[in-house]
């Protein structure tokens, strides 16, 4: 075989100004200076972050509802995408009709979707494609949010390491190279949590050749583990959202070459989403140098004992009030009164101790999940 190039993009959400651009279906406009790189790729894949719909059928959930026109599949085709993962927290924002419309629109335009379906079995299905003699397997999984499938409902493939191990018993004989798109991580946080890093390394131990974490909407860090690549935060590829910060407008493409001898090399290609004209753009030379230096600094620090844990502790402190306000059901007035944590302190240590006893226990969490779902039916 000759060498095989795999190009992996991050979150693609053709809404707002990008919706019109995708309906027009211009590769040069969407990808800008990266269009030629996409044309050279033997396999180009990314995460489709929203359903492509004919009409809105929004579900009841917390958080924003995303959805682009089904005609946006023309833009995905124009980009040169061969396959897209759809295991994410927005793919069911318009329920089963939205999922079906997405599957149909992409199928019509020759794009294979994986990672969600009308049943758990279909959502878990691995897409395998022969690329110049290399059997490339593609798996998409997501942390549990409103979009997850179950034994009796449509949705996205939930992250389940036990099921992944079971799948690998069969996949090891069927694929030569395995790509895992993992929709996981904390928004705006540029490191993995300790447990997410452990999961990603375990996926590699079980046979993944590249694991990329999408969803955080920022470029994080990366490492080589057992000579395989793990990216903890690829950043958005195309996502125009009203609250996008500067960090959320930057991303990286993962370009991997599988050589004839089976060895792989990779390149992380930085870009920014253009302003004021929609589409991908190159960073200014000085900005790109600073961006790469910061990425390398964060990545090297992963190997420093205690550094990742210290970063995680600091990040969690920034989330303390917001998360506990959610748990305590504080409305707007109580949130204002709790700006310094006064109301939380009033609950006292016994309350916090009881709360911890519930959320740290696997059986209690499973019980609570089951109860809450049944109460919301």
DSSP of 148-210, one letter per residue?
Answer: B-BTTB-EE-B--HHHHHHHHHHHTTT-SEEEEEEE-S-TT--S--HHHHHHHHHHHHTT-SE
pLDDT given for residue 242 in this prediction: 65
pLDDT per residue as tens digits for the range 276-326: 778 999 999 999 999 999 999 999 999 999 999 999 999 999 999 999 999
Residue 261, pLDDT score: 83
Radius of gyration of the chain (CA): 21
Q: What is the pLDDT of residue 243?
A: 62
User: How many angstroms separate the CA atoms of 301 and 360, rounded?
Assistant: 28
pLDDT at 343: 87
pLDDT in tens, the chain (377 residues): 689 999 999 999 999 989 999 999 888 899 999 999 999 999 999 999 999 999 999 999 999 999 999 999 999 999 999 999 999 999 999 999 999 999 999 999 999 999 999 999 999 999 999 999 999 999 999 999 999 998 889 999 999 999 999 999 999 999 999 999 999 999 999 999 999 999 999 999 999 999 999 999 999 999 999 999 999 999 999 998 766 677 889 999 999 999 988 899 999 999 999 777 789 999 999 999 999 999 999 999 999 999 999 999 999 999 999 999 999 889 999 899 888 888 888 888 999 999 999 999 999 999 999 999 999 98
Domain spans, the chain: 4-301, 307-375
Locate 47 and state its tokens: 């995460």
Q: What is the pLDDT of residue 277?
A: 76
**Please, are residues 58 and 98 in contact by the beta-carbon 8 Å criterion?**
no
Considering the four listed CATH numbers 3.40.50.620, 3.60.21.10, 3.30.1300.10, 1.20.1730.10, the one that applies to the domain covering 4-301 is 3.60.21.10
């Amino acid at each position: 075989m000759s060498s095989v190039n795999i190009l992996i993009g991050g979150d693609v959400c053709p809404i707002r100004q990008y919706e019109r651009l995708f309906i027009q279906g211009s590769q040069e406009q969407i990808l800008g200076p990266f269009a030629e790189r996409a044309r050279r790729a033997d396999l180009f894949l990314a995460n489709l972050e929203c359903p492509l719909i004919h009409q809105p059928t929004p579900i009841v959930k917390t958080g924003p509802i995303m959805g682009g026109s089904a005609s946006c599949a023309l833009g995905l085709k124009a980009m040169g995408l061969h396959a897209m993962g759809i295991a994410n927290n927005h793919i069911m924002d318009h329920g089963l009709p939205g999922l079906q419309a997405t599957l149909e629109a992409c199928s019509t335009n020759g794009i294979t979707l994986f990672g969600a379906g009308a049943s758990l079995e279909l959502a878990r299905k691995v897409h395998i494609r022969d690329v110049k003699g290399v059997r490339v397997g593609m798996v998409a999984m997501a942390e549990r949010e409103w979009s997850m499938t179950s034994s009796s409902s449509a949705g996205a493939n939930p992250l389940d390491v036990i099921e992944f191990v079971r799948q690998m018993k069969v996949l090891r004989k069927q694929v030569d190279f395995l790509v895992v798109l993992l929709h996981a991580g904390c928004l705006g946080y540029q490191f993995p949590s300790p447990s997410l890093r452990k999961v990603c390394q375990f996926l590699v131990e079980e046979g993944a050749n590249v694991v990329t974490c999408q969803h955080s909407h920022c470029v994080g860090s990366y490492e080589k583990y057992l000579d395989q690549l793990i990216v903890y935060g690829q950043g958005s590829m195309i996502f125009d959202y009203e609250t996008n910060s500067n960090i959320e407008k930057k991303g990286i493409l993962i370009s991997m070459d599988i050589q004839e001898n089976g060895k792989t090399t990779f390149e992380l290609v930085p870009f920014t989403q253009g302003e004021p004209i929609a589409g991908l753009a190159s960073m200014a030379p000085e900005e790109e140098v600073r961006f790469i230096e910061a990425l390398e600094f964060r990545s090297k620090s992963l190997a420093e004992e205690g550094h990742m844990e210290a970063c995680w502790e600091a990040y969690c402190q920034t989330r303390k009030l917001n998360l506990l306000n959610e748990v305590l059901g504080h409305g707007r007035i109580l949130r204002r009164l709790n700006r310094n944590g006064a109301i939380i302190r009033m609950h006292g240590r016994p309350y916090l101790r009881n709360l911890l006893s519930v959320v740290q226990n696997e059986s209690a969490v499973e019980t609570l999940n089951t109860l809450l779902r049944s109460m919301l039916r």
